[in-house]
């Protein structure tokens, strides 16, 4: 049996010091982070919406409009956004057949839903709503379990080319809290009970729809219109 | 000793990237690199596991093995030296794959990934020299 080499005590001591220093640096970096929160149930002012009725994608002249009521932290919404929506964009929106309207419907059980919605709203301020929307949904599994998702959203904002100073100011001000609440209130008023829910031709379709189903519904509506 | 220090540095670097990815430390000190783009690309996970988590696990294993090699004189290290060498080789190959993805798929470079590549390359070199010394 080999004998342990001697004279390692100073090395182990130095190693312990380095380990403690490293942990200290990481701990300091974590403690620097100040979480941002977006208030819920705020009183909606007229100035919060000013005619704003959702985030739009597609041609104004598209014959059919689909309104999606969704929650950024809802797994089904995430599945729709990442798996079905790219196909929907290709087949219905880019082809000019559908105009898409996205409405926030943040559920109370999801602690980061409003923060995510606000992050996307701040991206909208800089004309980058849809890239931020896509990043938040694509990264849902990453931020949903974190202590503070705000840092992740900020990273998405940077990756999406936003001016971070303006983004930070927007997030800190929580200026879109009323708009998000107004969107939620509208969802409640039209009868939304689950997310995602799609309103197509005045009718609600609750639950994650496959792109094929959406195309089928749009085809049926288009046939009726003709 | 060098392998121990290098693997400890690797543990901290991977942990830093993991904390960044999970939103626990805000921004990443990246200068002019493309760290965010690389970190949030679909290539930042491998078989469903975050690359940074793989890094933490790998460097921790290297750290443990390197401590194991310190327990015996250079000529009597046997399997810990070989295990350290093989694991470091695995790390080098995995890093080569990730670097190729950065260069040829993403066309972006994250400085922290380059840092990890330097660490694992040095670690492999040290492990190789140690293994050669340990051979009877």
Q: Where do we find the tokens 């190789």?
A: B128
Q: A200-218: per-residue pLDDT in tens?
A: 988 999 988 899 999 999 9
Q: Show the domains of chain B with their CATH numbers.
A: 2-24+31-134 (1.20.1440.130)
pLDDT of residue B56: 95
pLDDT of residue A70: 96
pLDDT of residue A72: 96
Partner residue opposite A150 with nearest CB, options B23, B28, B40: B23
A5 and B25 within 8 Å at the Cβ level: the answer is no
Q: Over 90: is that where the pLDDT of B119 sits?
A: yes
Which value, in Å, is the radius of gyration of the alpha carbons in chain B?
A: 16
Q: In this complex, is the C-beta atom of A172 within 8 Å of any C-beta atom belonging to chain B? A: no
Tell me the nearest-neighbour CA distance from A28 into chain B, angstroms: 9
- Chain B neighbors of A3, CB-CB under 8 A: 72-73
Q: Which of A34-43, A123-132, A171-180 has the highest mean pLDDT?
A: A123-132
Which chain B residue's Cα is nearest to A2?
A: B72
Partner residue opposite A30 with nearest CB, options B1, B24, B76: B24
pLDDT of residue B33: 64
* pTM strictly above 0.80: no
Q: Assess contact for A137 and A116: CB atoms under 8 A.
A: no
Q: B17-46: per-residue pLDDT in tens?
A: 888 877 677 667 776 667 777 777 778 888
What is the 8-class DSSP label of residue A91? Answer: I
Q: Assess contact for B115 and B6: CB atoms under 8 A.
A: no
Q: B56-95: per-residue pLDDT in tens?
A: 999 999 999 888 888 776 566 677 888 899 999 999 999 9
Which chain B residue's Cα is nearest to A34?
A: B26
- Chain B neighbors of A150, CB-CB under 8 A: 23
The 3-state secondary structure of chain B reads: CHHHHHHHHHHHHHHHHHHHHCCCCCCCCCCCCCHHHHHCCHHHEECCEEHHHHHHHHHHHHHHHHHHHCCCCHHHCCHHHHHHHHHHHHHHHHHHHHHHHHHHHHCCCCHHHHHHHHHHHHHHHHHHHHHHHHCC
- Chain A neighbors of B71, CB-CB under 8 A: 2, 4-5
Tell me the nearest-neighbour CA distance from B68 into chain A, angstroms: 10
- Chain A neighbors of B5, CB-CB under 8 A: 15, 18
- Chain A neighbors of B6, CB-CB under 8 A: none
Using CA atoms in the order A133, A136, A137, A140, what is the torsion angle rounded to 10 degrees?
Answer: -170
- In which band, very low, low, confident or very high, does the pLDDT at A2 lie, cut at 50, 70 and 90? very low
Burial status of residue A123 (CB atoms within 10 A of its CB: 0-12, 13-18, 19 or more): buried
Q: Show the domains of chain A with their CATH numbers.
A: 46-225 (3.40.30.10)
Tell me the nearest-neighbour CA distance from B28 into chain A, angstroms: 8
pLDDT of residue B1: 80
């Amino acid at each position: 049996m080999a004998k342990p080499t001697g004279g390692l005590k100073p090395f182990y001591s130095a190693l312990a010091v380095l380990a403690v220093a490293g942990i200290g640096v990481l701990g300091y970096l974590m403690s620097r982070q100040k979480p941002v929160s977006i208030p819920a149930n705020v009183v909606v002012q007229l100035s919060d919406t000013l005619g704003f009725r959702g985030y739009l994608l597609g041609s104004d002249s598209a014959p059919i409009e689909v309104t999606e009521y969704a929650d950024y932290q809802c797994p089904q919404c995430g599945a729709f956004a990442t798996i079905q929506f790219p196909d929907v964009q290709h087949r219905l929106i880019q082809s000019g057949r559908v105009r898409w309207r996205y409405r926030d419907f943040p559920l109370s059980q999801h602690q980061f839903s409003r923060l995510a919605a606000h992050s996307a709203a701040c991206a909208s301020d800089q004309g980058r709503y849809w890239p931020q929307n896509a990043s938040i949904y694509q990264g849902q599994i990453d931020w949903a379990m974190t202590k503070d998702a705000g840092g992740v959203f900020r990273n998405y904002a940077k990756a999406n080319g936003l001016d971070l100073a303006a983004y930070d100011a927007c997030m800190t001000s929580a200026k879109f809290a009323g708009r998000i609440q107004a969107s939620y209130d509208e969802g409640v008023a039209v009868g939304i009970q689950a997310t995602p829910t799609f309103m197509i031709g005045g009718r609600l379709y609750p639950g994650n729809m496959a792109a094929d189903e959406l195309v089928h519904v749009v085809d049926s509506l288009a046939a009726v219109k003709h | 000793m060098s392998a121990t220090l290098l693997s400890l540095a690797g543990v901290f670097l991977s942990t830093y990237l993991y904390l960044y990815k999970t939103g626990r430390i805000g921004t990443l000190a990246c200068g002019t690199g493309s760290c965010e783009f690389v970190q949030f690309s679909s290539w930042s996970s491998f078989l469903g596991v975050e690359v940074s988590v793989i890094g933490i696990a790998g460097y921790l294993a290297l750290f443990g093995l390197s401590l194991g090699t310190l327990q015996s004189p250079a000529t009597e290290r046997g399997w810990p030296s070989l295990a350290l060498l093989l694991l470091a080789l695995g790390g080098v190959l995995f890093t080569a794959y990730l670097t190729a993805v950065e260069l040829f798929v993403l066309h972006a470079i994250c400085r922290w990934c380059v840092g990890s590549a330097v660490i694992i390359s040095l670690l492999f070199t040290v492990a190789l020299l140690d293994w050669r010394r340990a051979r009877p």
